[in-house]
Structure 1
Amino acid sequence: MIVKNQVLYREEKKPIVWDAFFNPNGKKKTVVIFCHGYKGFKDWGAWDLVAQQFSNHGLFFIKFNFSHNGGTVENPIDFPDLEAFAQNNYTKELDDLNDLLNFTTSEVFEYKNEINKREITLIGHSRGGGISIIKTSEDNRISKLVTWASVSSFGKRTSTTGDLEQWRKDGVKYVINGRTKQQMPHNYQFYEDFKANEERFHIESAIQRITNPVLIIHAQDDPSVKFEEAEALDSWCSINQLISIENSNHVFDAHHPWSANHLPRALDIVVKETIAFIVSKS
């Protein structure tokens, strides 16, 4: 069963648009929540095919848009709301993930009879990996963590650093989206939020606090987030395994749009390794 573009409305917050992929057989399923990365969205590329693979293996797979990723309820694909994008920050993303977890595990969740609330895995891609690491370190509802091409530090990202004085003076800076050619705005509040919460956003400290199993997957030739960041995560975490993917890139050879009815080889390996990790009893 595929449930697309559901909306979690929240008081005084932007809504969260989410999808669920699962086999509705009344059996309690492990919940898998996927967090997209910077300039990402739930419908990017091959993510639907990825979700279907998890569903085929008896998992309840949820993917969603962070509320300030630039999408809207009416158009959750790409970035029609650049004003919201400019107001995004790490605190908002962690808050979104927390609200989605609260909703999924609540009695009002329509599919509550299909899920095992005691078995929840987070998967985070790129920046979403960093968010997932922090959330796992803070929330005992998370039983397993998987990172795909994750960042190892928020303080080193170009969205956090750069010409700080000019950024402060102008109040906004822009990063071009190579695919859509949009000038993506980042308000200076992003940096202010990071500095105000720098201890909380320290990924190294966060992953060291995690006591549940962690799987780290990263392409050796990732041009966007270097493989050294995966090695750093691996060195900081005690209950984990690191899988390197050869001859691939930051999105494991997928792209947007994705028209094929099968996954690229690298992403297929990533999905299979992740599913095996989730369903294992260890």
Structure 2
Amino acid sequence: MLKKKDFIINGKHNKPILIDVSYLANTTNNPIIIFCHGYKGFKDWGAWNIMAEYFANAGFCFIKFNFSHNGGTIEQPIDFPDLEAFGNNNYTKELDDLQSVINWCFENATIKKTGNLDRLALIGHSRGGGIVSIKANEDNRVKAIISLAGVSDFLSRTIANVDVETWEKTGVKYVLNGRTKQQMPHYYQFYLDTVNNKDRLNIKNAVSNLKIPHLIIHGDNDTSVFIDEAENLHKWNPKSTLEIIKGANHVFESRHPWDTNKLPKALKEVVNKTIFFLNSK
């Protein structure tokens, strides 16, 4: 029987982190996966819940969480009621949040009972792919990583098509959320945090140093993060495995809301490739 439990933990930056864990009841020693959502994302977006169930039914302890400053709240975790938090988010906060979740895994009774902490993998989608790449290089408790439509460079993405001088002068820039129609704020601290931590946030260096199994999955119809970013990741870590999903877009044909209990074909292919990869290591 599939079980799902919700948890709330304290983040390092004065905001809580909402977590859910999916696993098969009365099982032990399950490999653990921690999933990181991407930019303008959240743990319950689209088909992520169906994906969690699929992994759990395949024998994994699957953990996903909302970054503390993703714009959601404990009471309203879907979409972005807290735009002030969103505006104050940055890459190092997300790295800290992921560290908090990893640390929590090693302390939580449910995880220790059902999961195998010696088989801890990270999966990151889009911006989350960059976050897991850096964290895997920082924390030797991580034994494998999977980048789904992952970015390869934070700094260039942060300053792309941006007048930094105006950003500094006004203190904020806005990005339209095409789905919710919200103007999403990005305070100037985001730029400063990225520049001040540019060495730590160098995905190329992190990926080049990886000594653990590394799977890169990308759709060849991704117009948000182009496929050359996946090719860069693979070039920087030649021991990695690169899988291209034919015809798949940035979210592997999912959407929000997702109103069926089946995975889209492209995302199912992603999950099956990931399961095969992790079980073969």
Query: Do both share a fold (TM > 0.5)?
Result: yes
* Residue equivalent to 2:83: 82
Structure 1 distance, partners of 2:13, 2:267, is 38
Deviation at 1:112, TM superposition (A): 1.7
SS at 2:155's partner residue? Answer: coil
User: Is the aligned partner of 1:131 residue 2:131?
Assistant: yes
Task: Indicate how the Cα distance of structure 1 residues 264 and 12 shifts in structure 2: closer, same or farther if over 3 A, else same.
Answer: closer
Deviation at 1:2, TM superposition (A): 3.6
Structure 1 segments of 4+ aligned residues over 4 angstroms from their partners: 158-161
Structure 1 distance, partners of 2:195, 2:112, is 38
Structure 2 distance, partners of 1:252, 1:177, is 19
1:119-159 deviation per Cα after TM superposition (whole angstroms, max 9, x unaligned): 10000000000000000011100000000000010012156
Task: Indicate how the Cα distance of structure 1 residues 161 and 33 shifts in structure 2: closer, same or farther if over 3 A, else same.
Answer: farther
User: Is the aligned partner of 1:64 residue 2:69?
Assistant: no
Check the 8 A contact 2:123/2:148 in 1, yes or no: yes
Sequence identity percentage? 51
Structure 2 distance, partners of 1:143, 1:44, is 26
Task: Indicate how the Cα distance of structure 1 residues 59 and 73 shifts in structure 2: closer, same or farther if over 3 A, else same.
Answer: same
* Residue equivalent to 1:238: 238
Check the 8 A contact 1:103/1:109 in 2, yes or no: no
Listed as ranges, the gaps of 5+ residues in structure 1 are: none
What amino acid sits opposite 1:277 in the alignment?
A: F
* Residue equivalent to 2:94: 93
Structure 2 distance, partners of 1:220, 1:126, is 14
What aligned pairs does 1:26-41 form with structure 2 within 5 A after superposition?
26-41=27-42
* Residue equivalent to 1:211: 211
Structure 1 distance, partners of 2:183, 2:131, is 24
What amino acid sits opposite 1:64 in the alignment?
A: F
Structure 2 distance, partners of 1:11, 1:130, is 20
* Residue equivalent to 2:270: 270
What aligned pairs does 1:1-282 form with structure 2 within 5 A after superposition?
1-10=2-11, 13-106=14-107, 108-158=108-158, 162-280=162-280, 282=281
SS at 1:155's partner residue? Answer: helix
Deviation at 1:239, TM superposition (A): 2.3
What amino acid sits opposite 1:143 in the alignment?
A: K
What amino acid sits opposite 2:92 in the alignment?
A: T
Deviation at 1:248, TM superposition (A): 1.5
Listed as ranges, the gaps of 5+ residues in structure 2 are: none
Aligned residues between the structures: 280
SS at 1:71's partner residue? Answer: coil
1:53-105 deviation per Cα after TM superposition (whole angstroms, max 9, x unaligned): 10001100000000000000101100000000000001100000001100111
SS at 2:235's partner residue? Answer: helix
Task: Indicate how the Cα distance of structure 1 residues 67 and 10 shifts in structure 2: closer, same or farther if over 3 A, else same.
Answer: closer
Structure 2 distance, partners of 1:26, 1:14, is 32
Structure 1 distance, partners of 2:252, 2:140, is 30
Structure 1 distance, partners of 2:156, 2:76, is 31
Deviation at 1:117, TM superposition (A): 1.1
Check the 8 A contact 2:12/2:96 in 1, yes or no: no
Structure 2 distance, partners of 1:88, 1:59, is 30
TM-score by length of 1: 0.96
